Amino acid sequence: MAEQNPAPASSFVELDWRGRPLSLEYQWVGSADAGRPVVVFLHEGLGSVAMWKDFPQRFCDEHGLRGLVYSRYGYGESTPRPQGEHWAPDFMHRQAHEVLPALLGALGVEQPWLFGHSDGGSIALLHAARFAEHLRGVIVVAPHIFVEDISVASIEAAREAYLSQGLRDRLARYHADVDSAFRGWNDIWLDPAFRDWNIEAELARISCPVLAVQGEDDEYGTLEQVHGIARKAPQTKVLVLPQCGHSPHRDQPAALSREAGRFINSLA
């Protein structure tokens, strides 16, 4: 990938969501005068702007693109989740259908690509199912379309690691309120009411191009997650990366960048 540039500084956009003021952290990366659709990066369930590290910057630099990276409500430097507030099973639908459109509108982003990882990939798919005509396409990396036993087992293991194995300290470098970030994600995924969460029926409404990527060693889901997308949205291109776990941008960054860049450029 291209030589790394200095990390950009974060800015903040103020939104009103359901009568609640939100301040969302974001960064622009890549070429300001790319003259091509913006790539919007949506992070994982424990992610943030900082957790992406330099992947969005390097990806955009390599392919001559402009990128927008942001931290969702409860993550990074964005407004934290109040103590005691528990997310509902439709929390990703709300992010996809309400917060993301408001963010794009506030920042003047039109016809973007969405590049989502894990929960961010699910949010990208849900947004595309409702707003496909406003997108160039979506790239989803290790997305979830239904809940599997392997997902729950790994999330249970993450809770133990957070409580007693140092995960809290490691994550605290990337979040202003680390308990807000971890508990919001972990509590809802382990809530029995979330076991029935499933977005397969909504995928059939996606009409834009889709690239679905997953590592063959993903510890949070089987390959049925990406193959299930392709069955519902036949225009989907599936890419399975060998020697790769749940975070291809960490485990196989060169391969992910190459294939995602080819996909975007082939549809430019």
| pLDDT tens for each residue of 55-82 | 999 999 999 999 999 999 999 999 999 9
Tokens at residue 177, please?
């309120």
Residue ranges making up the domain that contains 206: 11-266
As to burial, measured by CB atoms within 10 angstroms (0-12 exposed, 13-18 middle, 19+ buried), residue 86 is exposed
Q: Does residue 3 sit within a domain?
A: no
In a domain, 6, yes or no: no
Total-model pTM: 0.95
CB-CB contact of 112 with 135 (8 Å): yes
25 in any annotated domain: yes
Residue 3 pLDDT: 45
- Looking at residue 228, its amino acid is G
Rg (CA), the chain: 17
In a domain, 94, yes or no: yes
Please tell me the total count of domains within the chain: 1
193-252 confidence digits (pLDDT tens):
999 999 999 999 999 999 999 999 999 999 999 999 999 999 999 999 999 999 999 999
Residue 35 located in a structural domain:
yes
Q: Domain for residue 129, yes or no?
A: yes
For residue 198, give Cα distances in angstroms to 92, 124, 136.
11, 15, 25
CATH of the domain at 21: 3.40.50.1820
In a domain, residue 121? The reply is: yes
Q: Indicate whether 2 belongs to any domain.
A: no
